[in-house]
Structure 1
């Protein structure tokens, strides 16, 4: 199976995914506005430029920083206010088209700059800055005054003319460097928030994966398992493209590693083509699953695996061992107090003609009474709806394949003194 789609398809899927996220959340939710406003105020004060952040419609998302007194007075004149709004919108559009800061002369003769906020081709807004006179060569800058109508003659407004003459003067190269810095900062802030949204979407996909694996785990017939494998294919492709998007946004090796993990998990699903999987493949799947759970729950979990080399290519039904490792983490290790590290030990050996797998954890465990109740429920068919379905389902599957006396699943306290141990055994008669 081709795990990754073509570059064109992958880019299209990534763009659709990001677009759906930014559409649902908007720029406002992708920026820590309080933190950005403080940074915006500091940059404006340090550089002598006015600043405000707007969405793609031009609606302000932040308060204005160091707004020019000249511009405040000028915007009290209706025609000037209209021309100023046009100028801001025009500059933002040009910046979005270029995907770079765009400097220009505003209708009042000052120099402004629009810094676009663009994610995966989606224009989310802009940081508008400037309202300054500049020193240096500005011959290459577009004059927006040529695009507006009914602009006033400044000489006919003495108060405005005086404020204009007193307006701040900034070196044009300094303004350009400031705009580049602002773009770098705002892009990093937005992309970090976008990464968090992508991770949320990833965890939703993980939940879907668990549903697909559950079919392989509990399926009673071949057709049901085949259906699961077929449906997992598109799902996993979506998950891998999601992870690839995260890698692009994050630029982190950890995400690339996660992509490899999911690729191996996809391979596991398709390796179960004949209803069986090698013990080594099952172990690999368990290890990959633990890595995902560690990332999801941000918990330190150590895992030790010891498999008799001669058994690594022996075959078992898929998802025979995984449910017990998952249960050990969720019900045993995660409830541990504080930051206590979790540990899972898996040992697979052959004794007296039977393959034996022991899975032990150092989790919170259960009391003797709880263990006795579970054993009672497990032995009573009418109580199965109240019991640990993973134990019952796995034992039932093994008994169906290896015979009623050829397989067993036993739950006990961990011999090390803390946590639980599951002992799964079967006679490899096929």
Structure 2
């Protein structure tokens, strides 16, 4: 009980139980939160009939406990979520519960079947045994379970991790703010006037706590929306919730000037999926950049700023269909990312004007001219943007973004 008390003093256990229950219902998973010893500190959520039965059978129940313990231990060692196969051929995961840098326990979940081809990519947490299949009732319950995609398991783990991180950071932030306020009172007593620098630091720290709180409740609402979409079998809405959570996580993440091309492309794909969910067949897109180039440095939100120039011209819905294609190729120490737009867009002459128009001429901070100048300032004069018409003279344009194969400078 002492361990549970320690955790309950640092996070809201009722909120943790609610998050666990909602994720269980929305994602169709079983879940429970345990302390660092592996003892449950929440009620079980959504345990499958198969797993309930397995845990009732002597010999199998001990193996379930070992799977839970090993999964939680792996998450504790790495500090990251861990997805694995249990002894009963189901996919489980462990999301560590870390408060103030200390491992306090883990949220254990899963109890789902994935297709054998995807499952083979995961390691067994214990040496594989199939003797449970000899138990007629357990095997029958296993065969009745629906199969889900591994992608959905990953999305569930990521959303659950974000919620837990936001929850623990918010509670830690409150305590940090309380200590800061107490320290402020002492400083006021000791000194009549506080320096401007101290005021700035206090404001930044308070802002950080506020942002943490907003982050927590955003993903809590996303969790509720995904649950409602799942229960109403609104698959398109459910996918938009996942994509919007990914987009927001990227935009609200740790501030940085340089990302990787892979991070930028994943972000843009999520944005475009959301857009396509609204406009339907009037927009299509494809991303075919080989994974070997995803580690190339790319300025944070570069592709979003270029994409905005396309989408701003369409309003809420494009009048005519169009297609965006992202692809690229290597040329010496340059990687040339190409964005091709087919369909009703501004002419190449208009786009070249946007590229040449400086901010002082009305281009603004988001102008192509500004983006090109920043790319050249950071990476060198042979890098940057250029625009041209399609080779076949059909409606549309091609934007080429020249990036270095090796990271240089700071944006």
Sort the TM-score into its range (normalised by shorter chain). Answer: 0.3 to 0.5
TM-score normalised per structure 1: 0.43
In the superposition, the TM-score normalised over structure 2's length comes to 0.45
Q: Which has the larger radius of gyration?
A: 1
